A and B are shown apart, each in its own frame.
Chain A
Amino acid sequence: MKLRLTGIAALAVVAWLLPYGLNSYAIHVVDVALIFAILAIGMGLAMGIAGQINLAQVAFFGVGAYATAILTTREGYGFWPAAALAMLAAAVIGLLVALPALRVQSHYLGIVTLGLAIAFLNWITNAPIAGGAEGISAIPVPPMFGINLFSEYLYYYLEAIAFLGALAFGLFVVRAPLGRRMRAMRDDALAAGAIGAEIPLLRMTAFVLASLYGGVAGVLYAGLIRYVAPETFSLATMFLLLAMVIIGGRQSLVGCVIGAIGLFLVREELTDFATSAQLAYGAVVVLMVVFAPTGLAGVPARLRAAWRKRHPQSSARAALRPFQPFPAAPTASSSQTAILEVRGVGKRFRGLKALDDVSLTVLPGEIRGIVGPNGSGKTTLFNVISGLYKASAGQVLLDGRVVSGLPSYQLSQRGVARTFQNLRLFGNLTVRENILVALDRTRTRSIWRYALWPIGVWRQDAALKGAAAALVDRFGLIDFAHAAPRSLPYGIQRRIEIARAMAAAPRLLLLDEPAAGLNGEEVGQLADIVRSIRASGVTVVLIEHNMGLVMSLCERVTVLSHGAVIAEGTPADVVATPAVIEAYLGDTTTMADVPIQIPSEATR
């Protein structure tokens, strides 16, 4: 920490003294490089942090620059009012570009944003108000309390302040709950939605953030060069920007900055060999994605990992600690309204009928088992209840209110949490962060606080961290709090998923094959955890193939076969039902032949 502070202080001094050592051309290059650094931060926020492929960053840049140019030269606005309106314009364009992201992702989003960038380029090269191919010149020098910003040396300080502010705000967002949520969305949008992250709003936020950074860069560019023309905002610039972000490391804002400034300076140095330089950075991008996908920023971590592999530390082995039961809730007021009611739900995938007229009622405080052969529609039922699928027919009611059709994040906010059969932890977040994302129950609409009341955000984050520490401790995960979930054994990952689901403070917990892949001891621990969860006042519904666990844990069991309920009752009754035996074994045999454990789908 001390080392880091010293480093930052040294960098600040260097940044302060830098103009004194540079000639007028060099300072110009540095000024432009800083603008690219701001652009790259915005791009990194959208692409690296939120996982939204954004090839329209150059258009945001252009909107900021052109709006400033048009408002100052054509409409007679002062520079700073024009700049404020330009930022607004960039944010609005950011919102518009975000709209396709609500419907399409990944490659599609890449092509749509690229298409929109071309559309913008097409507009500025043709619109008379934008000056066509000649662009707009004679943008006024921004006034600044008598400081003459015509001097590029003084302009450097303006830019440096803007850049530091932009970087600090970016880093703050990334580390704050909002950034954590975005990173969770990047790693697994489905799971993030299931623990309450408002995916549509988050995607919008990512694009608006990127566009605001683009807007700042555009305004600064207009004030520095005082001339805008279409070629600055071409696809070549877009791809250069992409190369900067990839080479620097898209998941680290500092990496983006290093990539931007580094590549820009190298390119400036090789300006006589521009085409060869282009060939070279194209090649570097290809090599980077294949060999160093985390970019330059990821190099230290990779070196450290390699070092640790060669020099294994002899510290005590990390171990899974025992689970500490939740404090029991005072026995529920035994209101007998069903917490969950499924009414005649059907689900079709094209021709395939996955669920057909399924009805079931779960009372508060119950542990309900759902069993059935592979492919009988159990997980589909969970997906319908938790809002990942829309039912083709029927209704789902939570506390007597119809909730079918709501998106999964709204269901999470109403107290439904779930785990996934195939484990969907956020791979690039630590165990603690996985839990922190779920703990954060504030709505994304309170993001205004990030701009206006950051201290409130910081306090909230501190409170969340306290709660996360308690939960990590309760689930015995303290040794793994800072580990990446992927590096951990399967059984521990299963426990983390349950901890994450419980972090969302649910009233109804859906467990999809929680015992799959666990050994006998772990299954026993799981049973204790589930009982404690129920004792704390949470209703549990679980899908399970391990009949021993179901028999010992569940008061009532619902059996599905071919998408329909074929039996319901106490475990002992259900396993004696001929229809159930037939569903499992194909024909009626005696109870003694029913296998206790049916191999689960997840362990195939």
Chain B
Amino acid sequence: MQVFFQTLVGGLSLGAIYALVALGFSLVYRTMGLVNFAHADVVMIGAYVASTFYMSAKLPFVLAILVAIVSTGLIGVFMERVLRPLENKDFDLMLIGTIGFGIMLEAIAILVWGATGRAVPSPVKAAPLDILGVRIRTYSLVVLAIAAVATTVLILFLQRTKRGTAMQAVAMDHEAATAVGIHVGRSNAIAFAIGAGLAALAGGLAGPLLYVNPTMGASLGIKGFAAAILGGFGNIPGAILGGLAIGTIDAFAAGHFQGYSDLVTFLVFTVIIMVRPTGIFGERTVNRA
């Protein structure tokens, strides 16, 4: 039982990272119907920028992450601007375009930071908590808390601000949104920027949990994507639940199948997608048939 809870806790803290990755995916998807395949590499860039400013420039961890969020946000705006001619025209081509950006970002990371990775020390020095024999890293709690705050802020932004409402409108019908005077391109750019910022947040937070290296995005990104689909794509609270679910599946798969955890996770994911293409946590909120 203790092992079970220990695995669960491990799964949840990694799950919070997946959830943040999934949030970024979901936000861009619900706004423009695009799956940003470069998202995974933006996570990686975010992790590198945050760790660089934290370790080399000796900035406080929070500030380092903020720097990462701003810089990836700019990357997001740039990607959206380049791909804008394809928006609402050919999604398959856009998808391939984002893969192209992913290839570029990985190359840039290798050029700037080298092909070898780095370990990031945990910014929280407090000793692990011990609850009924289950050890919980304090940093994991911090990650969970930040994920919760980020989700709340994002939901408030989408529901309570004019800009957020405009983005919801674009998500529902971009032509009607244009007709009432919303700048769809700008709205998409903001979605991309926020998505990229969330990716940097995820990457920055993942730094001390994982090993930062140029290919870390691949598995983080795809698991984050799987989380977004599980939660019902485009569904913000669903993305969080999906992230935690994938983290848990992953942790238990790692416990039971050792090295084969990726294999098991993706097979389970494929089966779930085939049974319920709309995700297990309910219908998609934005219908993109």
Complex partner residue of A104 from B105, B215, B222, B277, CB under 8 angstroms: B277
Q: Check: A289 CB closer than 8 A to any chain B CB.
A: yes
Q: Given A53-B95, A100-B274, A243-B100, are A107 and B107 neighbors across the interface (CB < 8 Å)?
A: no
Assess whether A110 is in contact with B37, with CB atoms less than 8 Å apart: yes
Measured as residues with beta carbon below 8 angstroms from the partner, the interface class of chain A is: 35 or more
Residue numbers in B under 8 Å from A278 (CB-CB): 103-104, 106-107, 110
Q: Given A115-B226, A119-B263, are A289 and B100 neighbors across the interface (CB < 8 Å)?
A: yes
Complex partner residue of B274 from A103, A115, A281, A282, CB under 8 angstroms: A103
Which of B29, B99, B229, B274 neighbours the largest number of chain A CB atoms within 10 Å of its CB? Answer: B99
Bound-state Cα–Cα, A546 to B32, Å: 37
Complex partner residue of A108 from B82, B96, B277, CB under 8 angstroms: B277
Q: Check: A283 CB closer than 8 A to any chain B CB.
A: yes
Complex partner residue of A111 from B94, B115, B229, B263, CB under 8 angstroms: B229
Residue numbers in B under 8 Å from A279 (CB-CB): 103-104, 107-108, 111
B231-289: which have CB < 8 Å to A? Answer: 258-263, 266-267, 269-270, 273-274, 277
Determine how close the nearest CB of chain B comes to the CB of A247; give it in whole angstroms: 10
Complex partner residue of B273 from A108, A126, A275, A293, CB under 8 angstroms: A108
Q: Given A115-B266, A122-B262, A126-B259, are A103 and B273 neighbors across the interface (CB < 8 Å)?
A: yes
Bound-state Cα–Cα, A283 to B90, Å: 19
Q: Which residue of B lies closest to A51 (CB)?
A: B92
Q: Check: A286 CB closer than 8 A to any chain B CB.
A: yes
Residue numbers in A under 8 Å from B37 (CB-CB): 110
Assess whether A107 is in contact with B270, with CB atoms less than 8 Å apart: no
Assess whether A290 is in contact with B97, with CB atoms less than 8 Å apart: yes
Bound-state Cα–Cα, A24 to B96, Å: 36
Assess whether A283 is in contact with B100, with CB atoms less than 8 Å apart: yes
Assess whether B222 is in contact with A286, with CB atoms less than 8 Å apart: no
Assess whether A110 is in contact with B95, with CB atoms less than 8 Å apart: yes
Residue numbers in A under 8 Å from B197 (CB-CB): none
* Chain A interface main SS type: helix
Determine how close the nearest CB of chain B comes to the CB of A401; give it in whole angstroms: 30
Q: Which residue of B lies closest to A120 (CB)?
A: B263
Residue numbers in B under 8 Å from A276 (CB-CB): 107, 111
Q: Which residue of B lies closest to A240 (CB)?
A: B103
A72-126: which have CB < 8 Å to B? Answer: 99-100, 102-104, 106-108, 110-112, 114-116, 118-123, 125-126
Q: Check: B225 CB closer than 8 A to any chain A CB.
A: yes
Assess whether A116 is in contact with B266, with CB atoms less than 8 Å apart: yes
Residue numbers in A under 8 Å from B215 (CB-CB): 235
Q: Check: A565 CB closer than 8 A to any chain B CB.
A: no
Determine how close the nearest CB of chain B comes to the CB of A518; give it in whole angstroms: 25
B73-126: which have CB < 8 Å to A? Answer: 82-83, 85-86, 90-97, 99-108, 110-111, 115
Residue numbers in B under 8 Å from A104 (CB-CB): 273-274, 277
Q: Given A100-B273, A116-B270, A286-B97, are A111 and B103 neighbors across the interface (CB < 8 Å)?
A: no
Residue numbers in A under 8 Å from B92 (CB-CB): 51, 53, 106
Assess whether A122 is in contact with B222, with CB atoms less than 8 Å apart: no
Complex partner residue of A118 from B82, B83, B108, B218, CB under 8 angstroms: B218
Residue numbers in A under 8 Å from B94 (CB-CB): 289
Assess whether A275 is in contact with B110, with CB atoms less than 8 Å apart: yes
Assess whether A286 is in contact with B270, with CB atoms less than 8 Å apart: no
Q: Given A110-B37, A125-B259, are A118 and B219 neighbors across the interface (CB < 8 Å)?
A: yes
Bound-state Cα–Cα, A286 to B115, Å: 23
Q: Check: A242 CB closer than 8 A to any chain B CB.
A: yes
Q: Given A110-B37, A289-B94, are A118 and B107 neighbors across the interface (CB < 8 Å)?
A: no
Assess whether A289 is in contact with B266, with CB atoms less than 8 Å apart: no
Residue numbers in B under 8 Å from A102 (CB-CB): 274
Complex partner residue of B104 from A107, A282, A290, CB under 8 angstroms: A282
Complex partner residue of A290 from B85, B102, B258, B261, CB under 8 angstroms: B85
Assess whether A115 is in contact with B269, with CB atoms less than 8 Å apart: yes
Q: Given A100-B273, A111-B225, A275-B110, are A118 and B97 neighbors across the interface (CB < 8 Å)?
A: no
Residue numbers in B under 8 Å from A239 (CB-CB): 99, 102-103
Bound-state Cα–Cα, A563 to B218, Å: 49
Q: Check: B216 CB closer than 8 A to any chain A CB.
A: no
Bound-state Cα–Cα, A275 to B103, Å: 10
Bound-state Cα–Cα, A246 to B101, Å: 14
Q: Check: A285 CB closer than 8 A to any chain B CB.
A: yes
Assess whether B103 is in contact with A100, with CB atoms less than 8 Å apart: no
Residue numbers in B under 8 Å from A53 (CB-CB): 92, 95
Residue numbers in B under 8 Å from A288 (CB-CB): 100
Residue numbers in A under 8 Å from B106 (CB-CB): 278, 282
Determine how close the nearest CB of chain A comes to the CB of B194; give it in whole angstroms: 19
Bound-state Cα–Cα, A53 to B270, Å: 15
Determine how close the nearest CB of chain A comes to the CB of B277; give it in whole angstroms: 5
Sample of 15 more A-B contacts, CB < 8 Å, known A102-B274, A111-B229, A290-B86: A53-B95, A107-B95, A110-B37, A116-B270, A119-B262, A122-B259, A123-B260, A235-B215, A275-B115, A282-B100, A282-B105, A282-B106, A290-B83, A290-B85, A293-B90
**Can you sample 11 A-B contacts with CB below 8 Å?**
A100-B270, A103-B277, A111-B222, A111-B229, A118-B218, A122-B266, A235-B218, A246-B100, A282-B104, A285-B103, A286-B82
Q: Which 9 A-B pairs have the closest CB atoms?
A: A285-B100, A282-B103, A282-B104, A279-B107, A126-B259, A122-B262, A107-B35, A278-B107, A115-B266
